[in-house]
Amino acid sequence: MVKKLTGLTLSIMMTTVLAACGAANDSANGGETTGASSNAAANVNANANETASAPAEKIKIKYWYAFGEKIEEAKQHLVQEFNASQDKYEVVAEHQGNYDDLHAKVQAAFAAGDAPAVTDLEIASTGVFARSGMLQELTEYAERDKDELQLDDFNKGLMGNAYVDGKLFGLPFMRSTPILYKNVTMLKEAGLDPAGPKTWGELEEYSRVLKEKGKLGMTVPADIWFYEGLVAQSGGQMLSDDGKSVLFNSPEGVEPVAFWKKLATEKLIKIPVGDEAGATADKDFANQLSAFKFASTAGVTGTLEIAKANGFEMETAFMPSNKSYGVPTGGCQLVMTSKSSDEEKEAAWAFIKFMTTKENTIYQHKHVGYLPTRMSAVESEEMQEHFKQFPQYKVAFDQLEYARPRPMETAYPEVAKLIREAIEKAILTPDVEPKAALDEAADKANKLLAK
């Protein structure tokens, strides 16, 4: 699940000075000598030759990344592969928590003049970082190396958040969409068709049957990422086209909250809150208390392992539709910070290119479950065979047909926080109507967008 930039992280922004360091060298001359002097001269010449033939010191850069477990394994493996692939650069990879943690630490390090040259960046935060001057624009690099990079090979459905104000600032890396995870074993035992649910109505029907069996239909946090998908499915959008006002309190934005509240009130689904809400949903699904969960495609590999260990069959599917299908994209892209030296920027660019190759997008997809970001990877024989063997991985790619980029207005991370709080208030407080809660959030959000 993606994490968003919070008000705390927004408040840390900006200005900085970066110090540079220099180096010195010396030289020696020798003349024709005899005896001990000849030996000394020979030693001097030998040392000089060794110095001349010694390899140049590698340019070392830092790469900061988010999340652990299978995701961290994949990133560390790729970093090791990059370092072994050439002798000019060395990347030091450092784990920095979740996206919120990572963003705050990058901002603080940038202000202190010690930012990593490369970092993961959750896609909705690209606008905030780019407009603050923290990111290096990549357009010139991409044009210079266009034959090697093949920018057009990246899935177009994943490029919407790579650009800010028409300029390229990131390359898709570990990208995702939310998908529906299904405990097929529970559905069969309840007499339900494992091919569903495909609509909101079917989700409600399935949940009623499961309640009779003492189970929940779904445990789902009031997460902004999932809500964005439900709004899209209802024919709405989060913000106006110009990004200057909100639209989430429209009928299309209210409908998902009203639906969630209805199902939660009737105890057909559970909506946990707080920092552990996502973990609660994962536990309920793993322990077969809930038949469904919404989660990132990044969890496919891990959830398959859990299902096998706990003795149930797991499948994935599109998020159920309302008026239509619809889904936000998520995950991170790789970006370069702007205050590195020219040498460090070249190292950073070489690393970013390596991490996003066809071969490496296949590797991270198979190891974790994130979307394959390059079309050449999707079309490869290796990936097609993988999809046949494990169709759970292909769902997120197919769902990209209905994908939307996430809003990238500077104030959106704060707006998202207001929306989540409004959703939780509407669902957990019996006498609060969803429309009223979202209207209140909209008033505050519009003031943020107007700044």
Number of CB atoms found within 10 A of residue 306's CB: 16
Domain boundary assignment for the chain: 58-176+330-404, 178-328+411-450
Tell me what the mean pLDDT of segment 38-60 comes to: 56
Alpha-carbon span 38 to 32, nearest angstrom: 7
Quick: pLDDT tens for 338-358. 999 999 999 999 999 999 999
* Residue 354 contacts residue 85 (beta carbons within 8 Å): yes
* CA 337 remoteness from chain centre: 17
SS3 80: helix
**pLDDT, mean over the chain:** 89
342 class by beta-carbon count within 10 Å (0-12 exposed, 13-18 middle, 19+ buried):
exposed
* Residue 360 contacts residue 373 (beta carbons within 8 Å): no
Model confidence at 434, pLDDT cuts 50, 70, 90, reads very high
Query: Which residue in this structure is represented by tokens 């790619």?
Result: 397
Quick: pLDDT tens for 241-281. 999 999 999 999 999 999 999 999 999 999 999 889 999 99
Question: Cα 150–151–156 angle (5° rounding)?
Answer: 130
Whether the per-residue pLDDT at 34 is higher than 60: the answer is no
Beginning with the edge strand found earlier in the chain, give each strand of the sheet holding 59-65 in spatial order: 89-95, 59-65, 118-122, 330-336, 171-176
Number of CB atoms found within 10 A of residue 53's CB: 7
Q: Would you state the pLDDT for residue 54? A: 53
Assigned superfamily of 178-328+411-450: Periplasmic binding protein-like II (3.40.190.10)
Alpha-carbon span 337 to 76, nearest angstrom: 20
SS3 187: helix
Quick: pLDDT tens for 147-171. 999 999 999 989 989 999 999 999 9
Whether the per-residue pLDDT at 21 is higher than 80: the answer is no
95 class by beta-carbon count within 10 Å (0-12 exposed, 13-18 middle, 19+ buried):
middle
Query: 178-328+411-450: same fold as 58-176+330-404?
Result: yes
Alpha-carbon span 196 to 174, nearest angstrom: 28
Whether the per-residue pLDDT at 325 is higher than 50: the answer is yes
Q: Would you state the pLDDT for residue 157? A: 86
DSSP 416-441: HHHHHHHHHHHHHSTT--HHHHHHHH
Alpha-carbon span 395 to 304, nearest angstrom: 14
CATH topology of domain 58-176+330-404: D-Maltodextrin-Binding Protein; domain 2 (3.40.190)
What tokens appear for 340 in the block? 């590195």
pTM: 0.82
Cis peptide before 197 (omega within 30 of 0): yes
